Structure 1
C-alpha cells in the first residue's frame, strides 16, 4: 500500500474508534472483537518497510518501544472505560475523560518516538503505526470483553417448569 493510503487508513480508524468510545456501546463477548486488529496487523506485516535496513538495531528498539506504548495505551484505555450492566444482563461501556487523556498521552508518546527516530536518521514506515494501532485495539477490546464477563450474571434466571401455563382447577378424574 502507498504511504498516502496507509495514512488515510490510520486517520480513518483513529477517528472512528475515538468517536465511538464516548457513545454508550453494548459489550458482546460473543462478537469478533479481534477482527479489526487482525486486519490491521495483516496490513502492517505485509509491507516490507517495517524495519530500517540501515539502522537495524535502532529500528528494532523504536518498534519495540512503539509496541510497548501501544499495549500500555490499550490497557489504560480499557481500564478507564466505564462499564455497567443493565437488569437484563447486557453490559455497556462508555469512554471517560480519563480514557481521552490516556489516548492523548499515547499519541504524544508515539509522536515523541517518531521524533527520536527522525532525529537519529531511522526511516519509519506507516506499518509501525498500523502495528501499534492494532495492538492498542486488540488489548483494549480483550480487556473490555474480560471485564464485561465479570459483570454478567453467571446463570440467566429462567422460569420454573410450568410458568406461564394456564392451569385448570377443576376436579381430577381417575
Structure 2
C-alpha cells in the first residue's frame, strides 16, 4: 500500500515540478514532514535481526536522500513574479535527477535484500520525505535573495 501511495505522490510531485508552479512558501515543508512522520510512525525502519547493518543502511539512505533532494533543487528555475510570489519550473535535468533518485533508492533496497535486511515500508515513505525536505529547503534558501521584478518581467535564478 505504501508503494502505491509513494508512486501516486511521486507522480503528482513530478507533474507539478515540470511545469511552472507557484510555491506556497507558508506551506513549503508540509508534504515532506507528513511523509517523514508517516514513515516513522509505521516503524520497521530497523531490522532487529540485523541492527548494525540496517542502521548503517538507514543512515546512508538519509544522507543520500538529502544529497539527491539538494541536487534536484539545483535543477529548478526559480523566479518571483511582480506580486512577490515565488515560482519554480523543472526541466530535463530535473527529470534526470529524479531518475537518479529512484535508481539509488532501488539500489539501496536491492543491497538490503542481498544483505538479508528486512525493513518495513515506512522506510520508503521516510526516504521520500527526507529527500523532498532537502529539495524544498534548498529551494527555500535559493529563493530568499530573489527580488520581485520591478518591470513586471520574470527573473530567472
Q: Structure 1 length normalisation: TM-score?
A: 0.80
Matches of 1:148 and 1:99 in 2, distance apart? 17
**What is residue 41 of structure 2 aligned with on the other side?**
46
Aligned residues: 150
Assess if the C-alpha contact under 8 Å between 1:81 and 1:93 holds in 2. Answer: yes
**Residue 56 of structure 1: how far off its partner (Å):** 0.5
Deviation per CA, 1:108-140: give whole Å up to 9, x if none. Answer: 111111111111110022111111111111111
After the TM superposition, which parts of structure 1 deviate over 6 Å for at least 4 consecutive aligned residues? none
Three-state SS of the structure 1 residue aligned to 2:144 is: helix
Relative distance call for 1:16 and 1:85 in structure 2 (3 A) is same
Which structure has the higher relative contact order (CA within 8 Å, separation 6+)?
2
Q: Which has the larger radius of gyration?
A: 1
Three-state SS of the structure 1 residue aligned to 2:88 is: strand
Deviation per CA, 1:7-26: give whole Å up to 9, x if none. Answer: 22111111111111011012
**What is residue 101 of structure 1 aligned with on the other side?**
96
Assess if the C-alpha contact under 8 Å between 2:43 and 2:120 holds in 1. Answer: no
**Residue 71 of structure 1: how far off its partner (Å):** 0.7
**What is residue 35 of structure 1 aligned with on the other side?**
30
Flag structure 2 segments of 5+ consecutive residues without an equivalent: 151-157
Of 6, 9, 29, the match for 1:13? 9
Q: Structure 2 length normalisation: TM-score?
A: 0.88
Give the aligned CA root-mean-square deviation in angstroms: 1.8
Flag structure 1 segments of 5+ consecutive residues without an equivalent: 157-174
